Chain A
Amino acid sequence: DAGVTQSPTHLIKTRGQQVTLRCSPKSGHDTVSWYQQALGQGPQFIFQYYEEEERQRGNFPDRFSGHQFPNYSSELNVNALLLGDSALYLCASSFGTGTFNQPQHFGDGTRLSIL
């Protein structure tokens, strides 16, 4: 039973570029949430996708966008990268929309470095 998988594991970009991160949820899960974790900090909620729509969003600018596909996998896109976007980006899956009252299964994350 595959857990949550994220790709790539590491990525280096320069300021102003665009990046796409990918997440495949745990088998049987239909909801994907994305988080940003700066070094030494707890994760911050970016947004959640269910039924191919963004259902909830944290306090992140429009440069952060996403998509969910019919197979429940998801992408996180960040445009016009800033140095402050350097972080570990975590994906978590669960079953059922808006249900942070369900256990969240996390991937190992994508470490994004902006030069």
Chain B
Amino acid sequence: KNEVEQSPQNLTAQEGEFITINCSYSVGISALHWLQQHPGGGIVSLFMLSSGKKKHGRLIATINIQEKHSSLHITASHPRDSAVYICAVRPSGGGADGLTFGKGTHLIIQP
């Protein structure tokens, strides 16, 4: 079982819709990252969270440490938001495993 599970795997929505992508993890963590990957491979770091909530433009990320769950929200979605969104966690406890990634959520925003 993957330590990081994302849902949904695929999401198609209309321009302007409010988007929610979920990430659940099974281990204690010291940090959680949300990443955006466009076709061709380039990855952009959107947020790094250890608690609470962060907002950047139309993007909002929240994390609930007790429930081991994080959400990424996109308000007023636009076709340029179409990408794969990846959740990655840094397990706590000093392990040497780097970041553990989810498989990603493939988002398509239709005009």
Name A residues whose Cβ lies closer than 8 Å to a Cβ of B: 33, 35, 37, 40-45, 47-48, 55-59, 88, 90, 92, 100-109, 111
Contacts and interface: CB of A to CB of B under 8 A. Distances in A.
Nearest to A56: B96
A100 B90 contact: yes
A58 B33 contact: no
Given A90-B43, A106-B43, A43 B101 contact: yes
A19 to B, nearest CB: 17
Contacts of B41: 37, 88, 90, 108-109, 111
Interface residues of B, number: 25
Interface of B: 4, 30-31, 33, 35, 40-45, 48, 50, 86, 88, 90, 96-104
Q: Could you tell me the dominant secondary structure of chain B's interface residues?
A: strand
Contact of B103 (A42, A56, A105): A42
A41 B101 CA distance: 9
Of all A-B residue pairs in the complex, the 7 with the closest CB atoms, nearest first, are A45-B98, A42-B101, A106-B43, A100-B90, A109-B41, A108-B42, A56-B96
28 contacts: A35-B99, A37-B41, A40-B103, A42-B88, A42-B103, A42-B104, A43-B101, A45-B97, A45-B99, A56-B96, A56-B98, A58-B98, A59-B97, A88-B41, A90-B41, A100-B31, A101-B31, A101-B50, A102-B48, A104-B35, A104-B45, A105-B45, A106-B35, A106-B45, A107-B42, A108-B41, A108-B42, A109-B41
Given A100-B31, A106-B42, A42 B96 contact: no
B97 A58 contact: yes
Nearest to B90: A100
B55 to A, nearest CB: 16
Contacts of B88: 42-43
A44 B45 CA distance: 16
B36 to A, nearest CB: 10
Contacts of A35: 99
Contacts of A48: 98
A101 B49 CA distance: 8
A55 to B, nearest CB: 8
